[in-house]
Amino acid sequence: MITITPNASLTELKSLIHKENLKEERVEVVLSNLLALRDEQNARFCIPFDDVIVTIEAAIRLLQT
């Protein structure tokens, strides 16, 4: 979430937007990686349960920062 002060400069705003865009891109990569690991022939994921949990937790942390 972006927190903007009333007197924020254009440079500060651009920096905040850039940081948010980077976070969104990282989350997209994490989730895309999960989808890439699916086993389409058997309609399941072929990765250990712990890896799924760690990946989802990483995505949540990225969204919360």
| Nearest residue to 61 via CA among 16, 26, 13, 14 | 26
3-state helix/strand/coil string of 3-64: CCCCCCCHHHHHHHHHHHHHHHHHHHHHHHHHHHCEECCCCEECCCHHHHHHHHHHHHHHHH
Residue 1 above 70 pLDDT?
Answer: no
Q: pLDDT tens digits, residue range 9-45? A: 888 888 888 988 888 888 888 888 778 777 778 877 7
The Cβ of residue 34 has, within 10 Å, a number of other Cβ atoms equal to 16
Q: In this structure, are residues 39 and 46 in contact, taking their beta carbons and an 8 Å threshold?
A: yes
Residue 5 above 80 pLDDT?
Answer: no
Q: Which pLDDT belongs to residue 2?
A: 67
